[in-house]
Amino acid sequence: MADLRMRDLPALHRLLAAADVEELFGRYPRTRVREALREVLADLRRRIERGDQVPASAIAPAAIAEETRRRLDYLEDGLRRVINATGVVLHTNLGRAPLAPSAARAAAAAGGGYSDLEFDRESGRRGSRQDHLESLLGRLTGAPAALVVNNNAAAVFLVLRTFAAGRETVISRGELVEIGGSFRIPDVMRESGSLLREVGTTNRTHLRDYEQAIGADTAALLRVHPSNFRQIGFTARVEGEELAALAQRSGVLFLEDLGSGALVPLGDEPTVAAVLASGADLVTMSGDKLLGGPQAGIVLGRGELVAQLRRAPLYRAMRPDKMTIAALAETLRLYLMEGPAAVPALRMLRATEDELKAAARSLRRKLRRAGVPCELVALEGRAGGGSLPETTLPSWGVALGGEDLEGLHQRLRIGHPSVVGRIEGERLLLDVRTVLPGEDDELAKAVARAYALNA
């Protein structure tokens, strides 16, 4: 192969007239195309200067146009849609809960127009749509009051900051957890200005441990859901009722950070209603874990406490935007009007083995028809998002074999839409539990395409 020289590079004006580049002008603004084209040429020039082996095919107008198009991708490459074939329902890296179609539409409508976000239509004065969320949440959980913020980390922080800054918060050593994405209870407490008063031991904490720790400086007892881990063996944890009673006797608050927060029974998770009924003054939870809504943090509990949170200056920095409010309200409405099965994350978590096996068979049929050899496999899915860590969800899917599974998986990931499964041993596994209704044809096509390219 003869080495390319600088003068072999096509001139910009010639490229601009080439058919492949012409086509880019139809899709992108001229200035952006020229800019990207210049970058591609500058790169090639640098490589030639360095003495790199640049194949002649790399400077063909079609190749340069292709590279230019790749660089222009940034204009369109927002969040790429992913078909989740991991079997992990609340996959934090993939955006946790998928919204119900009507909740996604509600968010889009709120985003694309004006709404009564902070407007009372009757009086024509300032109002708040948080009132509407509060009444929906009240119906679903029995909470007298509620406030929604951007995420549960913010909810925990706001509560501690407002009620325990400069004073002590008592917490069991067994509950100083770290949640994915580096949310660590001790760090959040420190940042909030509350002094961490750890009690008990890693595996066992008793009521008397809390009792002995309560003093003049105590602001609250905090109980944190262990979320992503379970303790087994010689363990003891104090029940919420007992802590609520102790807090009341001692004149301090009892706060419970539930993390996932299930509105309906799921696995061995206590429902939010049950936790509130057991006497917590304030409960905090996520909107996009077991609730199945948008990213949000929800504080539920006593009216005068929630009112204080609403007045806190910090709340302003944490208040959710209109699209979140619209999506959350619609998700809650679905629970009340149509039941939890209308919420995709809940439907996935509760899908039966029979349903999943039928869906996996159908995927296998589509793949085989497209020339992709694969087998039906029994799998174990998970809730994810730090929820129900001990509960494995018996699931079904298809397994692909082959030489270069990593290569195949990468091709799937970088495709449009992207497909994410998992590799176990010598197999690429696609779990159908987390594949949304209507995505199966696309999934089969994407796999067939990647399989053919990888062959």
Ligand X SMILES: *Cc1c(COP(=O)(O)O)cnc(C)c1O
Q: In the complex with ligand X, which residue's Cβ is closer, 226 or 402?
A: 226
Number of residues that bind ligand X (CB under 6 A): 15
Least separation in angstroms between residue 320's CB and ligand X is: 12
Task: Name residues contacting ligand X, limited to 338-367 (CB under 6 A).
Answer: none
- DSSP codes joined into one string, 296-319: -EEEEE-HHHHHHHHHSGGGGGTP
Distance in Å, CB of 98 to ligand X, minimum: 16
Q: Site residues for ligand X, window 237-296 (CB under 6 A)?
A: 257, 259-260, 286
- Give the one residue of 227, 278, 331, 395 binding ligand X; rule: CB under 6 A: 227
Kindly state the smallest distance separating residue 83's Cβ from ligand X, in Å: 23
Determine contact, residues 160/168, Cβ cutoff 8 Å.
no
Minimum distance from CB of 448 to ligand X (Å)?
36
For ligand X, give the closer residue by CB, 200 or 421. Answer: 200
CB of 107 to ligand X, least distance (A): 17
Least Å distance between CB 228 and ligand X? Answer: 7
User: Residue 30, exposed/middle/buried by CB under 10 A (0-12, 13-18, 19+)?
Assistant: exposed
Smallest separation, CB 239 to ligand X (Å): 17
Interaction residues for ligand X, span 113-172 (CB under 6 A): 151-153, 156
Min CB(91)–ligand X separation in Å: 13
Question: Of 253 and 399, which CB lies nearer to ligand X in the complex structure?
Answer: 253
Indicate if the alpha-carbon torsion angle 386, 387, 391, 392 is positive or negative.
negative
CB nearer to ligand X: pick between 183 and 451: 183
Partners of residue 297 on adjacent β-strands: 149, 286
Minimum gap (Å) between residue 194 Cβ and ligand X: 15
- Distance between alpha carbon 11 and the CA centroid of its chain, in Å? 47
- Residue among 183 and 315 whose Cβ is closer to ligand X: 183
* Alpha carbons 81 and 303: distance in angstroms, whole number: 40
Question: Scanning residues 178 to 197, which ones bind ligand X (CB under 6 A)?
Answer: 179, 183
Query: Six-digit token pair at 312?
Result: 């806190």
Cα dihedral 60/64/69/73 (nearest 10): 140
Looking at 74-82, 207-215, 223-231, 342-350, which segment touches ligand X (CB under 6 A)?
223-231
Nearer to ligand X, 283 or 306 (CB): 283
Shortest Cβ distance from residue 138 to ligand X (Å)? Answer: 21
Give the residue with the Cβ less far from ligand X, 24 or 171. 171
84 binds ligand X (CB under 6 A): no
Q: Which two tokens stand for residue 161?
A: 């900051």
| Stretch 382-411 residues interacting with ligand X (CB under 6 A) | 386
Of the candidate residues 37, 88, 107, 224, the single one contacting ligand X (CB under 6 A): 224
Q: Residues 412-441: x/- map of binding to ligand X (CB under 6 A)?
A: ------------------------------
Which lies closer to ligand X via its Cβ, residue 148 or residue 264?
148
Which of 294, 297, 381, 384 touches ligand X (CB under 6 A)?
Answer: 297
Rg, the chain, Cα only: 27
Q: What is the bridge-based pairing of β-strands 282-286 and 218-224?
A: unpaired
Our CB check for ligand X shows the closer of 68 and 278 to be 278
Residue 189: which of 167, 217, 215 has the closest Cα? 167
| 53 CA to centre of own chain | 44
Is residue 313 classed exposed, middle or buried when 0-12, 13-18 and 19+ CB atoms within 10 A define those classes? Answer: exposed
Rounded to the nearest 10°, the torsion over CA 296, 241, 162, 315 is: 20
Q: How far apart are CA 133 and CA 246, in angstroms?
A: 31
Q: Can you list the pairs that 35-42 forms with residues at least 24 positions away whose Cβ atoms lie under 8 Å?
A: 36/68, 36/71, 36/72, 37/12, 37/64, 37/68, 38/12, 39/71, 40/64, 40/67, 40/68, 40/71, 41/9, 41/12, 41/15
Q: Which is nearer to ligand X, 298 or 367 (CB)?
A: 298
Q: Using the rule CB under 6 A, which residue among 225, 347, 382, 427 binds ligand X? A: 225
Alpha-carbon span 251 to 156, nearest angstrom: 21
Which residue has the closest beta carbon to ligand X? 259
Nearer to ligand X, 292 or 386 (CB): 386
Handedness of CA 333, 335, 338, 343 (dihedral sign): positive
Least CB distance from residue 180 to ligand X, whole Å? 7
Residue numbers at the binding site for ligand X (CB under 6 A): 151-153, 156, 179, 183, 224-225, 227, 257, 259-260, 286, 297, 386
